Copies of this chain bind each other. A is one copy, B any other.
Amino acid sequence: MSGTSPIAPQCPIPAATGDTIELAHGGGGLLTHRLIERLFRPAFAEAPEDLTHDGAVFEIDGTRLAFSTDSYVVRPLFFPGGDIGTLAVNGTVNDLAMCGAEPLYLSVGLVLEEGFAIADLRRVVDSMRQAAKAAGVRLVTGDTKVVEHGKGDGLYINTSGVGRLLAALPIAPGRVRPGDAVILSGDIGRHGIAIMAAREGLGFEAPIHSDCAPLAMPVRRLIEAGVELHCLRDLTRGGLATALIEIAETGNVGIQLDEAAIVVAEPVRGACEILGLDPLYVANEGRFVALVPAADAERTVAILRRCGESAVAIGNVEAANGAAAVRLGTIGGTRVLDMLTGEQLPRIC
């Protein structure tokens, strides 16, 4: 029970201030990764190899299941295109989908701050109900805790989910191979900009809505069509760049992207310029990448488009050649994408 146990890992967690948690530890970038690799992995020795993965998969009495958890601390609670309730349902639905599973059952853990308006709680709970219905999952168990005023921020939600594994083979960075195509399911950056605009009271000409949406159906269609899914990843904290860097590092491959193929809607691009944000690192809540054999690329794009996604092939996988990097080909040349070292936008989900 003490940190001085001989089994306890002794390596320090580097951070700007060294010994306390910073916002960037929750940002999905470099500090999050160090926390996972240096603190959680040694302690949870039996955890699966890839702790950056969206969920765990296991078998109980012959039934193959996926299991995932996510806490939601988004600020503000309500934003164009959704609220913390829609986010909490779709986020965990999507984590299960990225494991190649059909999401079935969700749990809901609420941490409420004393003084929180019950009308707002009712609105969030109703959003959860609607999002669950739309995603075809059932909210079956829950828990409510209340903390004193000033010890929370209105409402935090944890959802965990259980799903039936549909994919016969593992869907994981380890299966990504040189030659694979990288398919992106739609345009990027909408969720992060919607949150930022709501938070800062920025009024854009046309309001930007979050892309928050369930992704289980398109994944299911890909699996049913027999597409060989090597890896799936939804683009949340840290955006497209962080997701692909994680996959490249875990799978020990290089990824070459074509910047011109990556769609950023004009209002999102404009907002990113004003706010000084790189859309490649801005959060999404209804977009994912699929890494599939080149032979399956065209079919993957076609299936996703039939599901209403604006999918495009944005690049391909190469041998790492000693550096598991993501390279972005632009008009002006090629640049290597780095993992975020700070926190671009805290409390985005």
Binding site for B on A (CB under 8 A): 1-3, 5, 7-9, 12-13, 15, 19-27, 32, 35-36, 39-40, 43-48, 51, 53, 55-56, 58, 60-63, 65, 67-73, 82-83, 85-86, 104-105, 107-119, 121-123, 125-130, 132, 138-148, 150-153, 156, 158, 160, 162, 164, 346-347
B125 touches A69 (CB 8 A): no
A123 touches B1 (CB 8 A): yes
Q: 28 A-B residue contacts at CB 8 Å?
A: A1-B85, A7-B129, A9-B122, A15-B118, A20-B117, A22-B114, A22-B146, A39-B125, A40-B125, A44-B128, A44-B132, A44-B139, A47-B141, A48-B141, A56-B140, A56-B141, A60-B162, A61-B63, A63-B63, A67-B105, A69-B141, A69-B142, A111-B156, A147-B347, A148-B346, A151-B153, A156-B156, A160-B160
A61 touches B164 (CB 8 A): yes
B143 touches A69 (CB 8 A): yes
A19 touches B346 (CB 8 A): no
Residue of B whose beta carbon sits closest to that of A10: B122
A58 touches B153 (CB 8 A): no
Residue of B whose beta carbon sits closest to that of A83: B1
Q: Which of A20, A27, A160 has the most CB of B within 10 A?
A: A160
Main secondary structure of the interface of A (DSSP, over half): mixed
Q: Chain B's nearest CB lies how many Å from the CB of A222?
A: 21
> In the assembly, how many copies of this chain are there?
2
Partner among B45, B58, B83, B143 whose Cβ is within 8 Å of the Cβ of A70: B143
The 10 A-B residue pairs whose C-beta atoms are closest, nearest first, are: A26-B146, A160-B160, A69-B107, A56-B140, A63-B63, A158-B158, A56-B141, A71-B109, A151-B153, A21-B116
Residue of B whose beta carbon sits closest to that of A129: B43
A107 touches B143 (CB 8 A): no
Residue of B whose beta carbon sits closest to that of A119: B3
A62 touches B60 (CB 8 A): no
Q: Chain B's nearest CB lies how many Å from the CB of A18?
A: 8
A68 touches B141 (CB 8 A): yes
In the complex with contacts A1-B86, A121-B21, A125-B39, A60-B164 CB distance below 8 A = yes
B115 touches A20 (CB 8 A): yes
Residue of B whose beta carbon sits closest to that of A81: B1
